[in-house]
């Protein structure tokens, strides 16, 4: 039996539409147009594509988008000063620093990201937002895992009571995913590079999230029959060939539902960023 394919574009369109409606209502009821500032340092071509994509989506939904392009030679102090300026700017509701930063300042990434006002931290990386996520307070949550939860809801897939397994424990995907699934009453196990007998654990999963960055690592024998498989991995195996962390062709025969790569989770991330800009604006206006 072949699995239901969870196409990211269908869910991303729904997430963006709900953001658009909220943006309209912020304009009409409060006279506020949400604003996003994306800081990009240097000329990294992949980062430029991501930033263009974010800008385009902002324009499409009616968010004021500012791209702050800074030279490759920018210092840590230059970035901190720019973030202070954006923190103080009332027209900017969300701030995002596109990663990775150039090699010369990469070591200061954490200090730079932590300078962003937590209420404007639309990537959800600030320790204040991480703490709120863990304690269950309203927070800005990293876009990729938040998008996965939205997708499950929109697809009508129940989380409550399910056995969930996440492969990967990064701050961007694995750890926030743990808290999001746990908050929705799943029983969650997080696996990582030191996990023994990985397949024994993953075979228990009714919801399996692969976020490890290893091309086609998750094979059919690691998947429980009928499981919902969310493939977060994006691995470039040739100049024009992207694959996920899951061996899709084999997994599709055993899973109940599965996201493809490309065309799956990747498309949800930008859509969720737009929702986070709306959430940040509402948090700043103290409205729910």
Our CB check for ligand NAD shows the closer of 196 and 286 to be: 196
Give yes or no: 160 in active site: no
Give yes or no: 54 in active site: yes
Give yes or no: 123 in active site: yes
Query: Among the candidate windows 129-137, 178-186, 209-217, 249-257, which touches ligand NAD by CB under 6 A?
Result: 209-217
Instruction: Give every CB contact of residue 28 below 8 A, 6+ residues apart in sequence.
Output: none
Edge-to-edge order in the sheet of strand 94-97:
64-70, 35-41, 94-97
Other CB atoms within a 10 A radius of the CB of residue 128 amount to 16
Our CB check for ligand NAD shows the closer of 92 and 264 to be: 264
Contact status, residue 142 vs residue 275, Cβ threshold 8 Å: no
Q: How far apart are CA 262 and CA 32, in angstroms?
A: 35
**Among 214, 242, 263, 283, which residue interacts with ligand NAD (rule: CB under 6 A)?**
214
DSSP state of 121: B
Residues 162-191 that bind ligand NAD (CB under 6 A): 167-170, 172-174, 191
Residue 203 sits in the site that holds ligand NAD (CB under 6 A) = no
x/- track of binding to ligand NAD for residues 116-145 (CB under 6 A): ----------------------------x-
Our CB check for ligand NAD shows the closer of 44 and 64 to be: 44
Q: How far apart are CA 178 and CA 201, in angstroms?
A: 15
Select from 134, 212, 132 the least CA-distant residue to 169. 212
Residue 232 sits in the site that holds ligand NAD (CB under 6 A) = yes
Q: Which of 16, 117, 120, 123 is catalytic?
A: 123
- In DSSP terms, 275 is beta-bridged to none
Q: Which residues are catalytic?
A: 54, 98, 123
């Amino acid at each position: 039996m072949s699995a239901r394919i969870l196409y990211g574009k269908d869910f991303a369109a729904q997430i963006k539409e709900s953001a658009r409606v909220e943006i309209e209502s912020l304009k009409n009821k409060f006279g506020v147009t949400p604003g996003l500032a994306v800081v990009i340092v240097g000329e990294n071509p992949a980062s430029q594509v991501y930033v263009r994509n974010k800008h385009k989506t902002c324009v499409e939904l009616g968010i004021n988008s500012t791209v702050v392009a800074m030279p490759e030679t920018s210092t840590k102090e230059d970035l901190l000063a720019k973030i202070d300026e954006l923190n103080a700017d009332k027209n900017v509701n969300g701030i995002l620093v596109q990663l990775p930063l150039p090699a010369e300042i990469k070591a200061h990434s954490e200090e730079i990201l932590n300078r962003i006002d937590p209420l404007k931290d639309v990537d959800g990386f600030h320790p204040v937002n991480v703490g709120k996520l863990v304690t269950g307070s309203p927070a800005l949550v990293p876009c990729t895992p938040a998008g996965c939860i939205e997708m499950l809801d929109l697809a009508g897939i129940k989380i409550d009571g399910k056995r969930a397994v996440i492969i990967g424990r990064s701050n961007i995907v694995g750890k926030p995913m743990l808290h999001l699934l746990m908050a929705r009453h799943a029983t969650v196990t997080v696996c990582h590079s030191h996990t023994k007998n990985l397949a024994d654990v993953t075979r228990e999963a009714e919801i399996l999230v692969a976020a490890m960055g290893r091309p086609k690592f998750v094979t059919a024998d690691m998947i429980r029959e009928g499981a919902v498989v969310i493939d977060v991995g994006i691995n470039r195996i040739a100049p024009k060939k992207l694959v996920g962390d899951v061996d899709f062709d084999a997994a599709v025969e055993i899973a109940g539902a599965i996201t493809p790569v490309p065309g799956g989770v990747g498309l949800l991330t930008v859509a969720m960023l737009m929702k986070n800009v709306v959430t940040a604006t509402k948090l700043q206006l103290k409205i729910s």
